[in-house]
Structure 1
């Protein structure tokens, strides 16, 4: 048996690989067609114009469902550990999963509504994704520490907390600087007003996004420890 077939670890592994592929492929298409600047465009900019918008929307939608599935499996795992050991907080688990669901809704809005056509809806989705995703990561980090030694190792707890903290630190300047800049442009010049602020916003956006990716990477070892089975209960008609 290969290590990536153990337990449910294929799920976060697929999520990480697919998410990275989404960003890289849409970025390569966008810069090849010269639709965006080579140096640090917004991630959404790389999927704003056809044909890359179709690729970005399609791959992001799959990534969203993979994210939801991963969050749900982690939720069920924490729930099971609590039932068995009482080591993890069920309340924290439910709150974390709720924020995770909201962040997934935000991801779908970003994937569906491009910033060049429906800017306000796109920005709402991005805000939900980044803010609620950061909160999800923080609460899951707290759950990991409280649940140790069940679930993940101490080192994994530290890595998880690091990426959650990095996401929180980066998400605030991402949103604030974006609001300050205001304008929607796929091409920037160093002489443009607010260019530096724009650059700070894009750098922080990439940091936040990759923090999420590496956060879910820490799930792989944990997901090797369990499987998830679906039980079907038939309702008998009287």
Structure 2
């Protein structure tokens, strides 16, 4: 049997590959069309103008749907794993689930409202995505350590902790430096007064995004060992 057919590991595998392609494909198209600079544009800059905006919006929406499925599957896995023990409190598992859903909702907002069209709504969606996403992976790291060794190996726990720390550390300069950026064009120049803030914010934004992707990469091995089943009941 192929590895991606074992259990539900196809969910995080698809999420990781598709999300990576979402960022990279839109960046390449925007770069070849001359819509963005080659040196670290914001992720949203690569999906601001058509046709890349259409591709970015569609692929991001699919990523958010895959994220919802993966996050819910992880929630049910932890619930089943700890239903006969008190390793992980149900309220913590449920809170983590809702933070994950909030992050996916933020992704949908980012995909739907381009930054050049409805800036305030787009920025609000990005804030919800990053804040909720960071909280989600922090709480999942806590759950991993609480459920060890029944959940994941110590190596996986440390791997998740590393990317949770990286995402958290990169989020603050992303938000703080973005506050000082006067976004008037997709093309930036080194002589712009806010150029250093733009570079710092954009670099950290990419770091946070790919930290999320690397975090979900750790789910692949865990998802091999369980499946979800839907039971249908007919009531007269």
Q: Where on the TM-score scale, by shorter chain, does this alignment land: which range?
A: over 0.9
Instruction: Write the distance in 1 (CA, Å) between the matches of 2:175 and 2:202.
Output: 10
Q: Secondary structure at the match of 1:123?
A: helix
Greater alpha carbon shift after TM alignment, 97-106 vs 117-126? 97-106
In structure 1, the partner of 2:118 is 118
Ranges of 4+ aligned residues in structure 1 off by more than 3 Å: none
Structure 1 SS opposite 2:180: helix
SS in 2 for 1:83: coil
> What's the secondary structure of 1:38's corresponding residue?
coil
Could you tell me whether the CA contact under 8 Å between 1:48 and 1:115 is conserved in 2? yes
Aligned-partner Cα distance in 2 for 1:28–1:84? 49
Return 38-47 or 78-87, whichever deviates more. Answer: 78-87
CA contact (8 A) 2:182 2:194 kept: no
On the 8 A contact 2:188/2:195 being kept in 1, the answer is yes
1:1-238 matches, within 5 Å, as 1-236=1-236
Separation of aligned partners in 2, 1:182 and 1:89? 44
Tell me the number of residue pairs that the alignment of Structure 1 and Structure 2 aligns. 236
- More displaced 10-residue stretch of structure 1: 208-217 or 175-184: 175-184
TM-superposition CA deviations, 1:24-71 (whole Å, max 9, x none): 110010000000001100000000000000000000000000001000
Contact 1:81 / 1:88 at 8 angstroms: preserved in 2? Answer: no
1: CA distance between counterparts of 2:179 and 2:52?
25
- Where structure 2 has 5 or more consecutive residues not aligned to the other structure, the ranges are none
- Work out whether residues 163 and 215 of structure 1, in 8 Å CA contact, stay in contact via their aligned partners in 2: yes
Q: Aligned partners of 1:54, 1:106: CA distance in 2, in Å?
A: 17
Contact 2:88/2:146 (8 A) holds in 1? yes
Q: Distance in 2 between matches of 1:4 and 1:85?
A: 30
- Pairwise CA distance, 1:179: 1.1
Task: Return the offset for 1:232.
Answer: 1.2
Q: Which runs of 5+ in 1 are unaligned?
A: none
Q: What is the TM-score normalised by the length of structure 2? A: 0.98
Displacement after TM superposition at 1:152 (Å): 1.0
Name the stretch that deviates more: 87-96 or 218-227.
87-96
Length-normalised TM-score, structure 1: 0.97
RMSD between aligned residues: 0.8
1:153-199: CA deviation from partner (whole Å, max 9, x where unpaired): 11000001111111111111111111111324200000011101110
- Say whether the 8 Å CA contact 1:12–1:216 is kept in structure 2: yes
